[in-house]
């Protein structure tokens, strides 16, 4: 019993101790849970996706896919109207000489048409000759009718003039003469009557003789009155009637002449029109005959120069909705369809389509890095040569909301491995910054029409206006408003808690000498296109600064950059550089002095990568960024 009591007395303190430990552990667990729940709830940004603002190399580029093709080439098209079939075709990729037969089309229908058309030509020529003879007859008859009408008019005018100048004056003179003669005879009769009256009064003359003399006077008076009456009839009635008749004859002759001329002219015009129509028909039939002959000759397409045959259906820019069959014997082709291309020079180019959202960034002259899918590891330099002023109509027809602009990029590197029709990727270098603040595009919003980001500070989100530069659809250049190391919210929020950009833009730039030379050539072309801009330069043998550019070039770049800034921008840049210099350690300040003074230590190839680990915006950097 004593042993049991002792055992119980020892077990009680142990159980009490265990109970205390359990209570303390429970309190600790409750405290930890409470702290996580309460304190976590007080941080509203704990569940939001964020991004740490980066400063370093940044390349703004546009990446598009395309096709390699020859810059200068002869395109041979089907010029036969309608649809026709291929009966002979040279194999694709064959080397041909000038004058070789490339394509022969079915010509049986054209040969039958030529025979029928020859008959139509002969008929049209016969009708043309008949119309020509009819015109000659019509012109002769018209001339005869006009001459006859003109003669009738001339006679009518002569009759009028003859009456005015001859007949009427003669008739008038005759009437006046008769009046004068009647007056003389009346005077003599009156004189005789007076003598007879005296003799009768003297009883020497009989009464009958006196009456005879009186009758003679009366007769002479009547003759005088008749002569005067004839003259008055002539002057008042006959003259006016004859004048009216002659004038009417002249007028009618004139009208008849005008009618004759008009009718003759109408007949001639009608005959000429008929001749012209017959001639036009003959010419048309002859033209059709020549056209059929020309079409027959175009059924044989001959090589205009030496070169390699490339089918149009297997190369060049084609719509994804183009359902044309590959060229082969028996395939039907349409008029103006491209059949074969013959490259005429070694110069090559890439054909790409730029989406309208990227069009504002791209301009003629910008450098382009070309990578061919079939040539892994090789890069070729080019430049933007031609940008279509209007979007591709084929893509708009299939999808009205899709606006792409065909663009030609001329390659400056000639390589036998570059073959027409090979797929490629073209990276158009819009701008390069050696030291630029950048954030993802999704972090920037438009608030009230102004670009805005939301930064996380003291577990709070703060709205901040920023000034934007260019972007490459992933990263955007922040000209002012953000500093390196600040935390910004991604919009819309991502499910993950935080996102880092350890493999930022251009993280995998090749480190061999070819890539370095390519970078230098890109910088040169970018300077030519931009005039003066920030470019990345790699280390060069013989000494380079820590930033990857020779000290003299760096000073010249900064001088140009400050000259192109406004007073406000220059003041901001001075403030930023001053603040950055004040935050440096003494060792960093000494290195900067040496760097700008030309006495900086040489650095190896690794310094060229900067924060991004390589050429910003490089293809491999893009792939790694997408994989994340």
Strand 380-387 relative to strand 367-372: parallel, antiparallel, unpaired? antiparallel
- Please give the Cα distance from 97 to 579 (Å, whole number): 71
Q: Residues 519-564: pLDDT tens digits?
A: 777 777 777 777 654 444 443 333 333 333 344 444 455 555 666 6
What is the third-level CATH fold of 109-297? Answer: Helix Hairpins (1.10.287)
Looking at per-residue pLDDT, the higher value among 346 and 24 belongs to 346
* Greatest mean pLDDT among 46-50, 376-380, 602-606: 376-380
The pLDDT confidence band at residue 366, using thresholds 50, 70 and 90, is very high
Residues, the chain, total? 628
First to last CA, the chain: 74
Looking at per-residue pLDDT, the higher value among 5 and 476 belongs to 476
Phi, psi of 9 (to 5 degrees): -65, -30
- Please give the Cα distance from 177 to 233 (Å, whole number): 15
Q: Which residues contact 516 (CB under 8 A, 6 or more apart)?
A: 538, 608
Task: Label residues 466-501 b or e (16+ Cβ within 10 Å = b).
Answer: bebbbbbebbbbbbebbeeebbbbbbeeeeeeeeeb
Give all strands (DSSP E) within 292-422, no chain letters: 300-302, 307-308, 310-311, 332-334, 338-343, 348-355, 367-372, 380-387, 404-411
Other beta carbons less than 10 A from residue 324's beta carbon: 15
* Greatest mean pLDDT among 132-146, 218-232, 515-529, 603-617: 132-146
Helices and strands in the chain: count of H runs, count of E runs:
12, 22
User: What pLDDT is attached to residue 540?
Assistant: 38
- Rounded to an integer, the average pLDDT of 131-144 is 91
614 DSSP 8-state letter = S
User: What pLDDT is attached to residue 39?
Assistant: 47
DSSP string, 92-158: TT-EE-TT-EEEEE--HHHHHHHHHHHHHHHHHHHHHHHHHHHHHHHHHHHHHHHHHHHHHHHHHHH
Q: Of 311, 431, 298, give the one whose Cα is nearest residue 363.
A: 431
Alpha helices per DSSP H over 324-409: 393-398
Compute CA distances 530 → 32, 166, 388, 558, 561, whole Å. Answer: 59, 105, 21, 15, 12
Helix (H) or strand (E) holding 290: helix 239-297
Other beta carbons less than 10 A from residue 25's beta carbon: 10
- Rounded to an integer, the average pLDDT of 157-172 is 85
- Domain boundaries of the chain, sorted by first residue: 46-72+347-502, 82-105+299-344, 109-297, 513-608
- Rounded to an integer, the average pLDDT of 334-339 is 88
466 DSSP 8-state letter = -
- Rounded to an integer, the average pLDDT of 116-133 is 93
Q: Residues 392-416: pLDDT tens digits?
A: 877 766 677 788 899 999 988 777 7
The pLDDT confidence band at residue 503, using thresholds 50, 70 and 90, is very low
User: What pLDDT is attached to residue 614?
Assistant: 36
Q: Of 457, 625, 506, give the one whose Cα is nearest residue 43.
A: 457
The pLDDT confidence band at residue 158, using thresholds 50, 70 and 90, is confident
Q: Of 622, 612, 597, give the one whose Cα is nearest residue 543.
A: 597
Intrachain domains 46-72+347-502 and 109-297 with the same fold: no
- Rounded to an integer, the average pLDDT of 315-322 is 53
Asked if residue 26 lies in contact with residue 584, where contact means CB atoms within 8 angstroms, the answer is no
Q: Is the pLDDT of residue 94 over 50?
A: yes
Question: How high is the mean pLDDT of the chain?
Answer: 76
Q: Residues 284-301: pLDDT tens digits?
A: 999 999 999 999 999 999
Q: CB-based burial of residue 11 (10 Å sphere; 0-12 exposed, 13-18 middle, 19+ buried)?
A: exposed
Looking at per-residue pLDDT, the higher value among 26 and 503 belongs to 26
What is the third-level CATH fold of 46-72+347-502? Answer: Elongation Factor Tu (Ef-tu); domain 3 (2.40.30)
User: What pLDDT is attached to residue 35?
Assistant: 47
CATH of domain 82-105+299-344: 2.40.50.100
Q: Is the pLDDT of residue 43 over 90?
A: no
């Amino acid at each position: 019993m004593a042993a049991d009591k002792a055992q119980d007395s020892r077990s009680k303190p142990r159980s009490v101790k265990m109970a205390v430990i359990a209570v303390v552990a429970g309190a600790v667990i409750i405290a930890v849970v409470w702290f996580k729940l309460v304190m976590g709830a007080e941080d509203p940004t704990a569940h939001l996706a964020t991004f740490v603002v980066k400063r370093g190399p940044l390349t703004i580029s546009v990446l598009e896919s395309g096709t390699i093709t020859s810059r200068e080439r002869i395109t041979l098209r089907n010029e036969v109207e309608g649809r026709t079939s291929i009966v002979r075709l040279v194999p694709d990729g064959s080397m041909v000489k000038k004058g070789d037969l490339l394509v022969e089309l079915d010509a049986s229908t054209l040969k039958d048409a030529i025979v029928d058309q020859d008959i139509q030509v002969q008929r049209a020529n016969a009708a043309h000759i008949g119309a020509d003879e009819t015109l000659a007859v019509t012109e002769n008859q018209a001339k005869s009718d006009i001459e006859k009408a003109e003669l009738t008019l001339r006679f009518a005018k002569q009759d009028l003039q003859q009456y005015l100048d001859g007949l009427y004056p003669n008739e008038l003179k005759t009437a006046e003469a008769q009046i004068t003669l009647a007056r003389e005879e009346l005077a003599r009769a009156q004189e005789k009557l007076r003598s007879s009256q005296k003799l009768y009064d003297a009883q020497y003359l009989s009464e009958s003789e006196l009456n005879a003399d009186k009758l003679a006077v009366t007769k002479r008076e009547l003759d005088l009155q008749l002569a005067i009456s004839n003259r008055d009839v002539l002057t008042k009635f006959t003259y006016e009637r004859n004048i009216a008749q002659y004038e009417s004859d002249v007028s009618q002759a004139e009208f008849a002449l005008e009618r004759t001329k008009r009718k003759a002219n109408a007949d001639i015009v009608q005959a000429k029109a008929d001749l012209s129509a017959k001639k036009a028909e003959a010419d048309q039939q002859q033209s059709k005959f020549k056209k059929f002959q020309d079409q027959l000759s175009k059924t044989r397409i001959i090589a205009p120069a030496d070169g390699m045959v490339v089918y149009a259906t297997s190369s060049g820019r084609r719509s994804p909705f183009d359902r044309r069959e590959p060229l082969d014997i028996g395939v039907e082709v349409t008029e103006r369809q491209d059949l074969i291309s013959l490259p005429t020079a070694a110069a090559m180019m890439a054909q790409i389509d730029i989406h309208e959202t990227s069009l504002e960034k791209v301009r003629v002259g910008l450098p382009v890095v070309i990578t061919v899918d079939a040539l892994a590891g090789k890069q070729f330099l080019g430049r933007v040569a031609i940008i279509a002023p209007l979007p591709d109509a084929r893509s708009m027809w299939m999808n009205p909301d899709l606006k792409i602009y065909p663009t030609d990029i001329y390659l400056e590197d000639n390589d036998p491995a570059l073959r027409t029709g090979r797929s490629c990727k073209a990276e158009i270098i819009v701008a390069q910054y050696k030291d630029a603040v950048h954030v993802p595009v999704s972090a920037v919003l438009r608030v009230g029409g102004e670009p805005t980001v939301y930064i996380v500070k003291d577990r709070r989100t703060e709205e901040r206006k920023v000034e934007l530069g260019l972007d490459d659809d992933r990263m955007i250049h922040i000209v002012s408003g953000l500093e390196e190391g600040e935390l910004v919210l991604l919009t819309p929020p991502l499910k993950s808690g935080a996102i880092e950009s350890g493999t930022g833009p251009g993280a995998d730039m090749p480190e061999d000498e070819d890539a370095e030379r390519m970078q230098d050539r890109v910088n040169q072309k970018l300077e030519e296109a931009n005039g003066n801009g920030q470019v990345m330069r790699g280390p060069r043998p013989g000494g380079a600064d820590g930033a990857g550019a020779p000290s003299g070039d760096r000073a010249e770049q900064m001088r140009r950059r400050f000259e192109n800034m406004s007073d406000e921008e220059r003041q901001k840049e001075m403030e930023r550089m001053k603040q950055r210099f004040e935050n440096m350690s003494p060792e960093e300040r000494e290195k900067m002095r040496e760097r700008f003074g030309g006495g900086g230590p040489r650095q190896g190839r690794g310094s060229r990568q900067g924060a991004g680990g390589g050429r910003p915006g490089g293809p491999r950097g893009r792939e790694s960024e997408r994989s994340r």
